[in-house]
């Protein structure tokens, strides 16, 4: 097993495997309570989610694009009971309200959602766990509010997807056009499917990233059942329109420079590579300098390794949360 800490690699297979097994066994012995559904009021409706182990150290858990809080359903039961997992559905996903019509998608809007949740619970400090889009949002939030975030865990994401400054005007125009086209379709009849066909549709859409079991977990919050017994996907159609106004890599680096937390990235070997390797390397170098502690860990699996193979991810999360710097 290769562990990369602060930019340096160490072969630590025997020690880490033993510790991970101990943490996982402890988690199973302690057990995790069944989650409670929550709804957090916001000006346009509510943010839905669920909490495992209320009263423990809060771990705000954020899902990826087009997923929902069910993405943590397999990991949460493996974590110790003194970790309170608060998993939310971002607007337009799962059981949360859709964004108001007429407002285009901007990635940094996710930071507002995170802040609303933190204020709702009255947390002075918080740990963040995020997969893909949720992990990128967690890093940016930690850079914007460094005094509030103690630890960040990013699953299969190294940095947000950047928009080169020279591409932004055309990207904005394209995204506005897409938004208006999609808005014109809202309100029409939803496409409906037999449940098995909907599962197949999700599996095809995700490529080889999720298993059939994982697809069914996501569909618990990601689909609606009609009176005729058929199902439709449940998401805000505008989610598939482009980002109205993105961030440049230079802007993202300024957020990373402000990190004052401990940071761990868990990268799946079979996960996607969105940008140039040199940009990833540069961002990891910044994390190494700005974060109080930086761990980069590679594990075998797909982009949804946390959902497909939670036994691989849960011990890493628990060890990192309980580690003392």
Q: Which residues are catalytic?
A: 132
**68: which 2 tokens?**
């929902």
Check residue 132 and give left, alpha or beta (phi > 0: left; psi -120 to 50: alpha): left
Nearest to 155 by CA among 130, 137, 133: 130
Longest CA pairwise span in the chain (Å): 58
Q: How far apart are CA 101 and CA 151, in angstroms?
A: 35
Nearest to 52 by CA among 22, 95, 87: 87
Check residue 31 and give left, alpha or beta (phi > 0: left; psi -120 to 50: alpha): left
Cα-based distances in Å from 294 to 19, 151, 196, 289 = 19, 10, 43, 9
Q: How far apart are CA 183 and CA 99, in angstroms?
A: 12
Nearest to 297 by CA among 277, 275, 319: 319
Start-to-end CA distance of the chain, whole Å, equals 22
Q: Which residues, at least 6 apart from 258, have a Cβ–Cβ distance to it below 8 Å? A: 143, 144, 146, 290
**220: which 2 tokens?**
């618990």
């Amino acid at each position: 097993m290769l562990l990369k800490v602060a930019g340096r690699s160490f072969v630590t297979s025997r020690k880490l495997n033993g510790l991970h097994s101990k943490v996982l066994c402890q988690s199973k012995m302690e057990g995790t309570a069944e989650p409670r559904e929550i709804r957090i009021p916001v000006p346009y409706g509510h943010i839905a989610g669920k909490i495992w182990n209320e009263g423990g150290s809060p771990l705000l858990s954020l899902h990826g694009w087009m997923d929902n809080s069910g993405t943590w359903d397999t990991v949460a039961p493996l974590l110790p009971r003194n970790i309170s997992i608060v998993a939310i559905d971002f607007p337009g996903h799962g059981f949360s309200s859709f964004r108001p019509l007429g407002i285009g998608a901007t990635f940094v809007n996710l930071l507002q959602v995170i802040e609303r949740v933190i204020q709702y619970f009255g947390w002075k400090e918080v740990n963040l766990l995020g997969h893909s889009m949720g992990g990128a949002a967690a890093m940016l939030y930690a850079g914007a509010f460094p005094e509030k975030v103690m630890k960040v865990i990013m699953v299969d994401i190294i940095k947000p997807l950047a928009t080169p400054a020279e591409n932004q005007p055309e990207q904005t125009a394209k995204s506005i056009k897409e938004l208006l086209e999609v808005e014109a379709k809202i309100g029409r009849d939803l496409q409906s499917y037999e449940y098995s066909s909907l599962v197949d549709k999700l599996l095809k859409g995700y490529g080889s990233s999720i298993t059939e079991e994982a697809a069914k977990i996501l569909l618990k919050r990601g689909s609606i059942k009609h009176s005729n017994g058929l199902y439709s996907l449940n998401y805000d159609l505008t989610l598939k329109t482009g980002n109205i106004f993105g961030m440049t890599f230079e802007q993202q680096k300024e957020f990373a420079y402000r990190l004052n937390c401990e940071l761990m990235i868990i990268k799946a070997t079979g996960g996607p590579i969105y940008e140039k390797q040199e940009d990833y390397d540069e961002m990891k170098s910044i994390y190494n300098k700005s974060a109080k502690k930086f761990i980069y860990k590679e594990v075998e699996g797909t982009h949804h390794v946390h959902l497909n193979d939670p036994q691989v991810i849960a011990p890493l999360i628990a060890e990192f949360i309980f580690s003392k710097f």
